[in-house]
Copies of this chain bind each other. A is one copy, B any other.
Amino acid sequence: MVTIRDVAKKSGVSVATVSRVLNANGYVHEDTRKKVMAAVAELKYSPNEVARSLYKKKSKLVGLLLPDITNPFFPQLARGVEDEMQKGGYRILFGNSDENAEKELDYLNTFIQNNVVGIISATNNKAKNNYKNLSIPVVFLDRTSSDYPSVYADGKEGGRIAAQEIVERGSKRITILKGPAHIQPAQDRFQGALEVLSQSNIDFHVMSTTSFAFEDAEKWAKELFATYPDTDGVLASNDIVATAVLHEALRLGKSIPKELQIIGFDDVPQSSLLFPSLSTIRQPAYEMGKEAAQLLVKIINQEKIQQQQVQLPVTFIDRNTTRKVDTNG
């Protein structure tokens, strides 16, 4: 391993001077700068970030904690974070929490131990006090929070839009699939839908679900049609659940969207590939990741931030599990 000392020796200056040219810090004569750069090139020297990090008590690393990269909503988020962080020269220390408080804490610890400059967390459990005594900035992603910086989509509004659209398109007996109680965004969606539906004169049911795994979703889909066979509209808690409902409905020979309309949530990439393609409420996952990264970088750089909370808009994606709206009213 070639160190700063080797460079110093080769260029005939002290390590301090080498350090100064590398960091464009303090005074250094142009001639010596050139000599040093030449030595750097010749020796293919690149500074040891670990040593740097130790002295400065700051690395160029940020921690990214996601519930599960295998859930198709998260790769987009992660990519947004990564692309943006890369620009600022930051690297990603990555972990999956499985929404498990212990795992989460474990990761948080190792993030700290590795001197990360900041953390982006998209986890949703109540173990908020895991974050209480952190000395470094955290931004929450896909998760509302009034006391921390956070970036999220307008879930409640999404729920409202979904309900409005499905009603407008003629569903009369709607079932809302309420997502897991501990996942805040799922609750927001539910509240939005509830708000609209309860103010209408439409019959509706609420079914609670406890995970976002496809295998579980298949069971609830079956249960849904067993319990409420005359449902003609489903507001699903996300696209995975919507997909399971779609499958079960097709299996039962229901005609979609004629007899049954379905609206998902997220607009995961595969939703447009389903048949019929899934109407859904789109969250701009990639942009959310980018926003979170930008916000964190600003905080790290101690820039003034106007808004600690960044709420991104949500849009209805009108595909083929909903009917075309009757423009004659």
Contact of A46 with B by CB under 8 A: yes
Stretch at the interface among A20-28, A266-274, A297-305: A266-274
Bound-state CA distance A94–B115 (Å) is 16
- In contact, A94 and B92 (Cβ under 8 angstroms): yes
Contact of A82 with B by CB under 8 A: yes
- In contact, A82 and B109 (Cβ under 8 angstroms): no
Are A46 and B113 CB-contacts (below 8 A) given A69-B75, A274-B274?
A: yes
Residues of B within 8 A of A114 (CB): 49-50, 59, 61, 91
Contact of A53 with B by CB under 8 A: yes
- In contact, B51 and A54 (Cβ under 8 angstroms): yes
- In contact, B110 and A50 (Cβ under 8 angstroms): no
For A47, A74, A83, A96, the residue with the greatest tally of chain B CB atoms inside 10 Å of its CB is: A96
Contact of A16 with B by CB under 8 A: no
Contact of A250 with B by CB under 8 A: yes
A145 smallest CB distance to B (angstroms): 24
Bound-state CA distance A70–B75 (Å) is 5
Closest to A276 in B: B275
Residues of B within 8 A of A94 (CB): 64, 82, 92-94
Chain A positions 62 through 84: 1 when the CB is less than 8 Å from some CB of chain B, otherwise 0: 00100011101011101100110
Give the size range of A's interface with the partner: 35 or more
Residues of B within 8 A of A115 (CB): 48-50
Residues 247-297 of A at the B interface (beta carbon under 8 Å): 247, 250, 269-270, 273-276
A156 smallest CB distance to B (angstroms): 28
Contact of A237 with B by CB under 8 A: no
In order of increasing CB-CB distance, the 5 nearest A-B pairs are: A275-B275, A270-B270, A94-B94, A49-B113, A69-B75
Give chain A's interface residues, CB within 8 Å of chain B.
1, 46-51, 53-54, 57, 59-61, 64, 68-70, 72, 74-76, 78-79, 82-83, 86, 91-96, 109-110, 112-115, 135, 214, 243, 247, 250, 269-270, 273-276
For the complex with contacts A69-B82, A70-B76, 5 further pairs of A-B residues with Cβ separation under 8 Å are A69-B75, A74-B75, A82-B96, A86-B95, A214-B273
